Amino acid sequence: MPDSSPSSSRPPQVGRRTLLGAAAAATAAPVVLGSASRAAAAPAPRKKPRALPGGGDLGPNVLVFDPSTPGIQARLDEVFRQQESAQFGTGRYALLFKPGTYNGLNAQLGFYTSIAGLGLSPDDTTINGDVTVDAGWFNGNATQNFWRSAENLALVPVNGTNRWAVAQAAPFRRMHVRGGLNLAPSGYGWASGGYIADSRIDGQIGPYSQQQWYTRDSAIGSWLNGVWNMVFSGVEGAPAQSFPNPPYTTLATTPVSREKPFLYLQGSEYRVFLPEKRTNARGVTWGNGTPRGTSLPLTQFYVARPGVSAATLNQALEQGLHLLLTPGIYHLSEPLRINRANTVVLGLGYATLIPDGGVTAVKVADVDGVRLAGFLVDAGPVNSPTLLEIGPRGASRDHSANPTTVQDVFIRIGGAGPGKATTSMVVNSRHTIIDHTWVWRADHGDGVGWETNRADYGVVVNGDDVLATGLFVEHFNKYDVQWFGQRGRTIFFQNEKAYDAPNQAAIQNGSLKGYAAYRVGDAVTSHEGWGLGSYCYYNVDPTIVQHHGFAAPVRPDVRFHNLLVVSLGGQGQYECVINDTGSPTSGTSTVPSTVVSYP
């Protein structure tokens, strides 16, 4: 979002939000056709590929430290120098710390960098020091601090407060901060985050300039302030419900949650822990010793390296292995097909899947308990009809006891180069939990333009009983979210409409001015949402008018709580908040228009 620094001092790629500083390898054998004289001969049997091994080395971009490792700070600094401003670069890193105590470290995190402890509990791995995200690379504006993460560590910050100034796709999971947490950059420039889950912050969390934030199933000492949209579910110590002033949306519990899988060490053996499902969850999962769940040895995973073919990945899946995607970029000539219940696909260091030739990157069958976590899907230059499909069309099985979870799975269309996709994510399976995603049609970078990185729809939900906790979807040419399933629920939604619409006609939706950011289908009889926000910044044609941010059928069981729309500096305007309800946004004031309850 916009910043007030002069253009001559901005680093490259500043198209995003510049007004806010002034505003509040085994493939299947080919089939060979025989000659006419042998047409009647029986085909030779296809040779079964050799079984792929499980386990193995994590590769050169997973850096594993223990307390006796020499030169840890120098290695951390080296990775940071490379990644600090590499917003659309190809580097990918996971920094893993074995259980123990580390003194005097400051792990600064740049793009595509994840840091994590390797214990079963965050308190198994303590850093007497900091894990820092700041925005020096971008003149103190943190609204582009995407794609980085911290997990499963205890921090004792040097000055008592750790700085975590992030924007989208930067989860802070399963962390214990023995002190405070500052979510703003040095100088308190703008930030546009963010997400915390399963974490304990002993002191105060100060969002300061953060426009929006979602905190789930955690414990905090206190919370300082709010700008537009601060949402809490299942958080001990959360501020009381008070939207819109202060803009706090507070739910005592989270209806259903299941924490993200994580890598840990049991002795010298790597394993992946699979936390169990919780209902009406509140507080952290790890506060009373060993967390509840199951674990798998790394030998049950195919440990993938960049350059491996999609055919080999699918062979591993068919063989019954799970997938661990080590950091890097993977080109896919065919979809990854996940057909087995309880399959885990876990990425490290923002492993990135690029579908080639217009294929879908990942297709999940209508089965129980699939866990997708920790990777980025980057659209290719040939249009893909979809990028991620959870369940086939018409999926109808009951997965309430063991849902599929999609966690820290991020989708990007354009930015790193040309990319196109008609629909980014389609959810057909019932009871799916989407727990923190950022689905983004790029507004800056390479391969960006109204038609250049065309992407009409962000997330489409057809399945019933789907829950989204932490839904970030931005800049699509038409609808950002369309929800057709029954009994859907969303806790926290953040959206910006596409900046680059050339004129009013380009977004005209029949008789309506513009496509809603979040649309509930006309046939839906039950739906509920809490803490949903949509912003517009039509910088190509600031005269564009968007009728509303939200659209839904008017029925007693289709309910919304705490909605807002904002025009950033008057670059475009909203006439209403939801349907025909809610005041228009006012001039250039960048003041939200809110609806506390609908209908």
Active-site residues, by number, are 496
Closest CA to 494 of 192, 196, 145: 192
DSSP bridge pairs for 235: 218
Residues 66 and 98 sit within 8 Å (Cβ to Cβ) = yes
DSSP 136: G
Tokens 């960006």 belong to: 448
Instruction: List helix spans (H) across 234-336.
Output: 310-318
Q: What is the DSSP string of 274-300?
A: EEPEEEEE-S-SSTTSSPSEEEEEGGG
- SS3 helix, strand, coil % of the chain, rounded to 5? 10, 40, 50
DSSP bridge pairs for 441: 413
DSSP bridge pairs for 129: 105
Tokens 């386990």 belong to: 55
How far is Cα 61 from Cα 190, in angstroms, rounded to an integer? 31
Burial classification of residue 340, based on how many CB atoms lie within 10 Å of its CB (0-12 exposed, 13-18 middle, 19 or more buried): middle
Tokens 């989407």 belong to: 434
Q: Which residues of 66-75 are buried (b: 16+ CB within 10 A; e: fewer)?
A: eeeeeebeee
